[in-house]
């Protein structure tokens, strides 16, 4: 499994996709922007390009020829996706510290990037993972429909969450108002987001393995 992850990191994933999170993280410096878009760039750019590469380079055949189990093939690929997602979120989080310093008195229309907001981002990627990974492993090479469906779901979640933040006084208070000073509350939303992210990704893994076992490598 370790060898498969290293294979993907060294061979399958273009180094550019490790730099991209840092550049996308820079978008956090745009004052009052829709920050949900920053992690979404992972779904828009990295996912289709990376999986297109795997497909065109016959990675599936290559991996199957190695002495590894099919379960490990799935596990390692999901690990790589999660590693990249975490780099994206982490880079964006680090940049957001500077956002607050640069614009201390900004009035936010869209969510300000407090800890609670990052919790929502984890949930957004959790939804992306459960749909993308489980759909992709029906064939283990067709990534188009899986990318479209999962990205759409992630955007819908972001849209609904943002709408709630603007329309609902209760949600607004948590993410814009007095709730932002409540570190315990913000941290617990972040932790809840991470827990959902882990849970959804694990469920995705189980579905993917079950489907991949039936996949014929042609």
Partner 1 sequence: MLALDIRNLNKKYPHFQIKDVSFQLEKGYIMGFIGANGAGKTTTIKSILNMVQVDSGEIYILGKNIADHEIELKQEIGCAFGDIDFYTRSKIKTLTDITKKFYKNWNDETYYNYLKRFKLDENKKIAELSRGMKVKYSLALALSHGAKLLILDEPTSGLDPVSRDDLLDIFQELIIGGEISILFSTHITSDLERCADYITFIEHGQIIASSEKNELKESYRLLSGSEAQLNEVREHLISYKINSFGFTGLIHAKDIDPSSSLRATTPSLDEIMIYFAKKEDVYV
Site residues (CB under 8 A) for partner 1? 3, 6-7, 10-12, 57-59, 61-62, 64-69, 214, 216-218
184 or 218: whose CB is closer to partner 1?
218
> Between 59 and 85, whose beta carbon lies closer to partner 1?
59
Q: Are 28 and 89 in contact (CB under 8 A)?
A: no
**CB-wise, 77 or 114, nearer to partner 1?**
77
The pair of structure tokens assigned to 146 is 């899986």
User: Tokens 């991470």 label which residue?
Assistant: 194
Closest approach of partner 1 to the CB of residue 97, in Å: 37
Nearer to partner 1, 187 or 213 (CB): 213
Closest separation in Å from C-beta 91 to partner 1: 27
Q: Quick one: tokens of 202?
A: 């694990």
Q: Least distance in Å: CB of 109 to partner 1? A: 45
CB neighbour class for 138 (10 Å; exposed up to 12, middle 13-18, buried from 19): middle
DSSP 153-192: HHHHHHHHHHHHHHH-HHHHHHHTSGGGG-HHHHHHHHHH
């Amino acid at each position: 499994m370790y060898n498969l992850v290293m294979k993907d990191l060294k061979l399958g994933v273009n180094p550019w996709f490790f730099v991209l999170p840092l550049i996308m993280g820079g978008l956090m410096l745009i004052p009052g922007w829709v920050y949900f878009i920053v992690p979404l760039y992972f779904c828009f750019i990295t996912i289709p390009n990376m999986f297109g590469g795997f497909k065109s380079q016959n990675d599936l055949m290559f991996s199957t020829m190695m002495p590894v189990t099919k379960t490990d093939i799935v596990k390692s690929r999901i690990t790589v996706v999660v590693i990249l997602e975490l780099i994206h979120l982490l880079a964006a989080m680090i940049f957001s510290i500077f956002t607050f310093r640069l614009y201390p008195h900004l009035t936010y229309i869209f969510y300000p990037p407090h800890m609670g907001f990052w919790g929502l981002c984890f949930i957004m990627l959790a939804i992306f993972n459960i749909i993308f990974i489980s759909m992709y492993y029906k064939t283990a090479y067709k990534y188009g429909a899986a990318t479209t469906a999962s990205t759409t779901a992630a955007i819908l979640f972001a849209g609904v969450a943002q709408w709630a933040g603007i329309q609902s006084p209760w949600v607004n208070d948590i993410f814009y108002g007095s709730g932002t000073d409540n570190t315990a509350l913000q941290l617990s939303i972040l932790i809840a987001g991470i827990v959902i992210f882990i849970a959804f990704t694990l469920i995705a893994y189980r579905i993917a393995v079950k489907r991949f076992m039936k996949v014929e490598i042609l």
